[in-house]
Amino acid sequence: MKTFPLWTAMVTPMNTDGSIDFDSFETLLKKQELAGNGVLVLGSTGEGLNLNEEEKREVVTFTKGLDLNVPMMVGVGGFDLPAQADFIHFCNEIEPDALLLVTPLYAKPGAEGQFEWFSELMGETEIPCMLYNVPSRTGVKMHPSVPARLSEEFDHLMGVKEASGSVEEFKEFRRQAPKVEFYSGDDGLTPAFSKEGGVGLVSVASNVWPEATHKYTERCLQGKTDDLFPLWKNATDVLFKAPNPVPAKVLLNRKGWIENDTVRLPLSLGDISESVEQELLKADQKIANWLAKQ
């Protein structure tokens, strides 16, 4: 598929009993469609590992059924290879536009284990696949040689979501795999990654600021970010003052975009303070003021 510069890692709205709130979910998806952002469901921001298999399939089927005029990506994460292969087979039938394959959790595999893991998963589908390097969640860094090797074996490798938090590591990925497209997995580092050849962003912030994040990404890719800082960095930093997606869900609820700010354990609303909530509201107003001037 063609390069799509901005994907929103969607939250999964929930009712007070923890069930999925599909009415609020549709509202959020339509806002992304209106802003022109691709949607990623069942990522870490979507609490994908906190949903059971039936729920995950419902989320995918529901999103596909909306027939959005923006592309849809589905997160595939965990450490049970047969279960992930089975879920990929389900996705093959639903036909999303892309899959996000995460470095395996907990086991801390080396370069060869990572290569074989991704090879097994990519061998189960012809859907374009984006790899996801997020060592803060998986416990292991993706080896820089892995994307390059996979690109030689699979034509449907569409890119890498790079969330190591390091510009130097991003540059090393680019050096070893110059033909692979790399996306920032960190809202705040998108300007730096863009300067080093990044082609886009997979964003948390676009959940709460769809249109503003779209403009921000465009400007980063054009190298025109002077008027965005320090506003943007300060605003996005607040979104991570409690475990993601707790702050995003709280702000979405306060904005009236979702009915409840419910999260599932081990996430807890008790991890966000009243002072952080006030910071979120102030950041939201500042972003709105900036957007109004564009």
> Which residues are part of the catalytic machinery?
132, 161
Cα dist from 103 to 43, 86, 171, whole Å: 13, 17, 19
CA–CA dist 262, 14 (Å, integer): 6
Pair 100, 161: CB distance under 8 Å? yes
CA–CA dist 102, 202 (Å, integer): 14
Q: Which residue has the tokens 């990925």?
A: 173
Residues in Cβ contact with 136 at an 8 Å cutoff, skipping those fewer than 6 apart: 163, 165
Length of the chain: 294
111-122 helix and 81-94 helix, angle to the nearest 10 degrees: 40
Q: Closest Cα partner for 31 from 250, 211, 283, 285?
A: 211
**230 prior amide bond cis, ω within 30:** yes
